[in-house]
Each structure stands twice: as C-alpha cells, then as structure tokens.
C-alpha cells in the first residue's frame, strides 16, 4: 500500500479496484485461496478499515481462509509512525584519535571546518564508505559518545569522520573525557534499557529526506561488522 491513510483517495480507490477484481474472479467460480494487501504501515494504521476479513476472505467451500500481510519495515522497527515498535539497529564506531586543534586551523577535506577557537577534535573509525551518509557532515549529523552528543566537524571522509568535542579549555565536560577506544554511537539505542537512543535513526532519515531502511540497507556489508545482541 503506497499511502497508508484512511483519508487517502488513492488508497481507497486502489482497494476498491482490488475488491472489484476479487469479486468478479470469485463470481466466475474461481477459488482465490488467499490474498495479501497490507504492508507494515497499512497493517498498523488503526484508522484504516480497508481490510474486512468477512468481505475479502470468505468464499464458498473454503473455511478458515487466511490472508497475508507482508511486513518488513515494521519488524525491523523502522516505521516511526508507530511508537509501539522498538528500534532494532545501532550503529557504532570507536574513537581512534583525539587532538586539540588551535583556532583557525582546518579539519578534513576541503578544509570545511575551521576551528573557531581551540577545540578538541575526535576522529571516529567510520566514514561514508561504511555507509554513514556523507550528507551528515559539517554539523548536520551528531554522534553520541559517553552519553553526550557531539556534532560532526567538517566533511565525512571515506573511512573516518571527525567530531567536535568542544572547547579545549573546558576540562570538566564530557568532551574532555573522550579518549581513544571510546564507543561512539552514530544511531540507535545505546544500551539495554534504552528504547530509542540519543540519536534516533528516524531523525536522521527525516533530516536526510530518506527512509530508515535506506540508511540501514546502505551499510557496507564488508566493512561494517554485524553483532547480534539481546
């Protein structure tokens, strides 16, 4: 279903067309054992009453016929309209390097980031080749390290990216505590009790005008290691 909403004329018409075809096929004496109309969104949209089993599934000489729903995004927790679903995916990298960049110095390709003051810059082990969108560079994207959120400094490189950990003079902040080997979460829940995480995949998708599936699908299979956790 392309547009899962009870107010969508398109959906209503689509469904009516489907029903009409189904009716005519059945009137011709042909048994249609099962049908499938819903994807994740159509299934979970509660005000959408298009699927009436009594109307769609009942036919002569067949009892207990089941319909089918085809759901992928919902199962992977990627349908933001439905808060019942839980996020499945967490993308993380580690801090490989921390340095203090003096005011006026640049970071990364095209010198896109010029330090406004003396700043701490952390380098993470992930880049656009891994599937982290390059569009999230230059402060659009954020990274969570030690529970605090830091903006991306400069362009995202192919194999790494740099984050702005805050002013170098600030020695008490979390940014000053970030050290090599720290886990940096790029999206998703960070630990057990965390349902959504500080940086939500759905926010990134919205920011990039794309979908969560597009982001998880573009993770590089050879470079990004998968871990299955409880």
Partner 1 sequence: MNVHRSIQVRILRVQSSFFIDMPPSTGRSASSPSRRSATPPISNCTAGGSANNNSQHYHPQRAVHQIRLSALRHNYSIISSAASKQQCSVITVVKADGYGHGAIETALHLADYCGADSFAVATVDEGVTLRKALNQMNVGTSATAVVPTPNQNQNAVVPNPNPTVVKKPGNISTLFQPPASVEVAISGAGCDTSSIGSMPTSVVPLPLPVVGPPVKIGATKKNRSPNIRILVLGPPTHLPDDFALYQQFNLELMCSGPQMARALMEWVANCDARRIQEVEKAASYQQSILLEQAMEEEDDKQMARNKRAGQASTLSNVEGVELGKELRQILLKKESMGRTSGHGSDHMSSTPTSTRGSMAGTVDANGQQQPVSQATAPAMSFKGIEDAAKASRVREMAAAKVLAQTAGEEEVEDDDDTSLEDSDHNNVVNDQAVSIAHENDAADSAVVSAVSSAAVKDASAKVSSSTMKKGVAPATARRKIKWHALVDSGMGRLGFKSVEDEDGDEEEKGIPLDKLPAPLQAHTKKNAKWKIGPHRDTVSIIKAMTDAEIFGGAPIGKLSSKNAMDVIDFFTFDTLLSLFFLFLNAYRIFRNVHPYGRSIFRIRLYK
**Among residue numbers 107 through 136, which ones bind partner 1 (CB under 8 A)?**
107-109, 120-121, 123, 125-126, 130, 132
Q: How many CA atoms lie within 13 A of 175 on its CB side?
A: 20
Cβ 177 to partner 1 shortest distance, Å: 7
Among 106, 138, 151, 167, binds partner 1 (CB under 8 A): 106
Among 3, 6, 99, 117, binds partner 1 (CB under 8 A): 99
Query: Residue 158, interface with partner 1 (CB under 8 A)?
Result: no
Quick one: how far is CA 205 from the chain centroid?
6
Query: Residue 68, interface with partner 1 (CB under 8 A)?
Result: yes
Query: Residue 83, interface with partner 1 (CB under 8 A)?
Result: no
Among 103, 170, 177, 206, binds partner 1 (CB under 8 A): 177
Query: Residue 6, interface with partner 1 (CB under 8 A)?
Result: no
The partner residues of 85 in beta bridges, in order of sequence, read none
Cβ 197 to partner 1 shortest distance, Å: 10
Cβ 170 to partner 1 shortest distance, Å: 14
Among 3, 6, 13, 206, binds partner 1 (CB under 8 A): 13
Kindly state the number of chain residues that form the binding site for partner 1, as judged by CB under 8 A.
112
Query: Residue 47, interface with partner 1 (CB under 8 A)?
Result: no
- Residue 18, token pair as written in the block: 């489907």
Query: Residue 74, interface with partner 1 (CB under 8 A)?
Result: yes
Query: Residue 206, interface with partner 1 (CB under 8 A)?
Result: no
Collapsed DSSP state (helix, strand, coil) of residue 63? coil
Query: Residue 201, interface with partner 1 (CB under 8 A)?
Result: no
Q: Which residue's CB is nearer to partner 1, number 98 or number 208? A: 98
Quick one: how far is CA 151 from the chain centroid?
18
Query: Which among 133-141, 192-200, 202-210 is the span making contact with partner 1, rule CB under 8 A?
Result: 192-200
Query: Residue 164, interface with partner 1 (CB under 8 A)?
Result: no
Long-range contacts of 98-105 (CB under 8 A, 24+ apart): 98/122, 98/123, 98/165, 98/178, 98/179, 98/180, 99/123, 100/168, 101/168
CA 7, CA 219: separation in Å to the nearest integer? 35
Collapsed DSSP state (helix, strand, coil) of residue 149? strand
142 burial type by CB count under 10 A (0-12 exposed, 13-18 middle, 19+ buried): buried
CA 82, CA 86: separation in Å to the nearest integer? 9
């Amino acid at each position: 279903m392309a547009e899962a909403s009870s107010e969508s004329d398109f959906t209503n018409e689509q469904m009516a067309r489907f029903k009409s075809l189904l009716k005519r096929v059945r009137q011709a004496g042909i048994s249609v054992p099962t049908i499938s109309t819903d994807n994740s969104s159509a299934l979970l949209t509660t005000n959408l009453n298009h699927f009436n089993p009594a109307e769609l599934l009942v036919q002569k000489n067949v009892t207990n016929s089941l319909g089918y729903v085809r759901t992928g995004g919902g199962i992977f927790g990627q349908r933001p309209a439905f808060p019942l679903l839980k996020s499945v995916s967490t993308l993380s990298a580690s801090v490989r390097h921390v340095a203090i960049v003096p005011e006026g110095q640049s970071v990364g390709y095209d010198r896109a980031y010029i330090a406004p003051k003396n700043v701490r810059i952390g380098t993470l082990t992930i880049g656009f080749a891994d599937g982290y969108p390059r569009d999230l560079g230059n402060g659009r994207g954020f990274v969570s390290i030690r529970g605090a959120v830091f903006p991306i400094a400069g362009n995202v490189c192919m194999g790494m990216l740099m984050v702005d950990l805050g002013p170098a003079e600030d020695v008490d902040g979390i940014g000053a505590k970030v050290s090599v080997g720290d886990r940096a979460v790029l999206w998703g829940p960070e630990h057990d009790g965390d349902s959504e995480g500080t940086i939500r995949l759905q926010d990134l998708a919205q920011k990039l005008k794309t979908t969560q599936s597009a982001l998880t699908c573009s993770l590089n299979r050879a470079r990004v290691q998968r871990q299955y956790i409880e």
